[in-house]
Amino acid sequence: MNQIKKLLIIGFVWPEPKSSAAGGRMMQLISIFKENGFEITFASAAQDSNFMVDLSEFGVIKKNIELNSSTFDDFILELNPDVVLFDRFMIEEQFGWRVIEKCPKAIRILDTEDVHSLRTARQKAFKENRIFELEDLLSEEVAKREIASILRCDLSLIISEFEMNILKDVFKINEDLLFYLPFLVDEMKEEELLKLPSFDERKNFIFIGNFLHEPNWNTVQYLKEAIWPAIKRDFPEAILEVYGAYPSQKVLQLHQPKNGFYIMGRAEDANEIVKKARVVLAPIRFGAGLKGKLLEAMQCGTPSATTSIGSEAMHENLPWNGFIEDDSVEFAKKAIELYKDENLWKQSQKNGIEIINKCYQKSAYSSQLISLINSLLVDSKSHRLHNFMGNLLQHHAYTSTRYMSKWIEAKNK
């Protein structure tokens, strides 16, 4: 009889699938491991939130832990997991050395969410009004931390093929340490569109996104200042509803019903709201990873208007489910056309289904991931032996982080 394998996930935050794509991604990972017989414990030092998912409903054990505390050592020693999944590189920095010290045999996996240094470098280039170059990454401070974390782990999950190529070509990371894992959804048949609200039953443009994420706030500013005035000029009755978790005061101040610009706040059920909208607007100007809001639009049969950054690595060479445009004036024109032209709108819906089925099939990736993890469980020694740079970084980080953490713990006492 096979022994049940234990997975420990150390979360940056508790999963909130209704608040962010990162929360949805985490629940997808949990479902893969659950379906493959893993016993899962989810631990985090984050505060509980009103919108976090009830992990017990998914058969996951919830554990509150502390930063810079040897109580974690006792906890992990007792749990003795086979696999530890770090949610973002900051969590690996904080807890990685403790995992190595107490459970050296555990396979260490990093879920990057997206390449943070890519997002940061693009944001800097945008704010400095210059074109982002891949070489910018080499001088990015956060890249040094992020790449070191990837090298220290046995495997890192990368959500975007564009980012896979950056890690291999710019940072020269061995492919054996990386696994491409996009968002994962079930297959969608074209006839399912008939069950969704029709063109005539839908109304309004929408934007949806978590406001703790800087690219989302910037997108709403761009909509308000450049794109929406151009849309309203040619389509005076147009309405835009902006949804998103954690809106700040500066977001709420953009609410202007007289101009058809509505700040709606958190969406209780994002899926239902997107299904009732006619077009999703997402003119994203910087960022990284894949855009959960755009995949969700496809699943809801809602065409979307986005930029080359928004659509990056999301559709291979397939036609987009709407359009991709970086110029604000053209963006506004095409948004109106997509909203008003029923034939174009219906074709865009079909394009979305083709993208879902070609690029995001759960069955295509989940078995590969589990197979790779099982092979690491059988022979991690050889895999680690060939990761010399990872061992080197582990040695130095282990020493420095360990003493810093011990010092903080002693100081807190």
Domain match, 284 and 323 both: yes
Q: What's residue 399's pLDDT?
A: 66
Query: Does this model's pTM top 0.85?
Result: yes
**Mind giving me the DSSP string for 221-280?**
HHIIIIIHHHHHHH-TT--EEEE-SS--HHHHTT-BGGGTEEEEE--SSHHHHHHH-SEE
Q: Return the CATH number at 117.
A: 3.40.50.2000
113 pLDDT higher than 50:
yes
**Tokens linked to 316:** 């291979």
Q: What's residue 1's pLDDT?
A: 40
Q: What's residue 3's pLDDT?
A: 80
Domain match, 123 and 29 both: yes
Query: Has residue 96 been placed in a domain?
Result: yes
What is the distance between the alpha carbons of residues 148 and 89, in angstroms, rounded to a whole number? 9
Domain match, 399 and 290 both: no
Query: Has residue 1 been placed in a domain?
Result: no
219-239 pLDDT, tens digit each: 999 999 999 999 999 999 999
268-293 pLDDT, tens digit each: 889 999 999 999 999 999 999 999 99
Domain match, 276 and 322 both: yes
The DSSP output letter for 88 is S
Domain match, 336 and 381 both: no
For residue 348, the Cα-to-chain-centroid distance in whole angstroms is 24
Domain match, 124 and 203 both: no
Domain match, 109 and 16 both: yes
Domain match, 198 and 170 both: no
Distance in Å from the first CA to the final CA of the chain: 46
Place of tokens 């994962």: 184
200-211 pLDDT, tens digit each: 999 999 999 999
Domain match, 292 and 165 both: no
Q: Is the dihedral of CA 375, 379, 384, 385 positive or negative?
A: negative
19-64 pLDDT, tens digit each: 888 999 999 999 999 999 999 999 999 999 999 999 999 999 999 9
Domain total in the chain:
2
Q: Is the dihedral of CA 36, 270, 57, 105 positive or negative?
A: positive
Region 364-385: what's the mean pLDDT?
93
Domain match, 269 and 334 both: yes
Domain residues for the domain of 252 are 190-359
